[in-house]
Amino acid sequence: MQTKRQSEIIESALEIIYTNGIQGFTMKNLAKKIGISEPAIYRHFESKIEILISILNNFKELAEMISGLMETYEDTAIEKIRFIFTKMIEIFTETPSMLSVIFSEEIFKNEEILKAKIFEILNIHTQTIEDILLKGQEEKNVRTDIDKESLTLIAMGSFRLLVKKWDIKNNNSDLKIEGEKLITVINKIIEIQTK
């Protein structure tokens, strides 16, 4: 459980990364933004890496929460996929600064611990989608002529591209509308095609 000050530090770190990129994320800039001294930050986090790990741990908890919800969520695979992607769009729309970390390869490039953490989060999301699709295939509402791994890759890859483009365009389009269109297309690809 994070303290109030740790949460404030994480939130400010996200805002700095979102506004100035990872290069602008220094302890000096962070201290200035919060209005405390650098040593005060070190009482809560040992390093910038530890702050980034905490940010990623928050994403991991979110991924685990969504995964847990899907285990008890009673609906078709198509509706479960719609729910997950709609929920992610809501989160990214409310907190676009999250994208600056979760989809920023430069942050993880030279830090093995961060790469491992992002891979862990990616695996949780991948496993959740694959489990949903497998159950849908067993229930005969998801196509079986394409394996669950490929369907997951198509769904997650296209969703990531949509969100990344929105981020690059400085969030100046309506992600909810674009997301809804994409989710509809993904579901058409996943559904069993009836003649």
Domain range for residue 104? 48-190
How many CB atoms neighbour CB 116 within 10 A? 12
Q: Would the pLDDT of 182 be above 60? A: yes
In which band, very low, low, confident or very high, does the pLDDT at 18 lie, cut at 50, 70 and 90?
confident
Q: Tell me, yes or no, whether 14 lies in a domain.
A: yes
Which tokens in the block code for residue 21? 């990129």
pLDDT digits (tens, 9 = 90+) for 64-119: 999 999 989 899 999 999 999 999 999 999 988 888 777 776 677 788 898 899 89
pTM for this prediction: 0.88
Same domain assignment for residues 14 and 92? no
* CATH number where 14 lies: 1.10.10.60
Same domain assignment for residues 175 and 87? yes
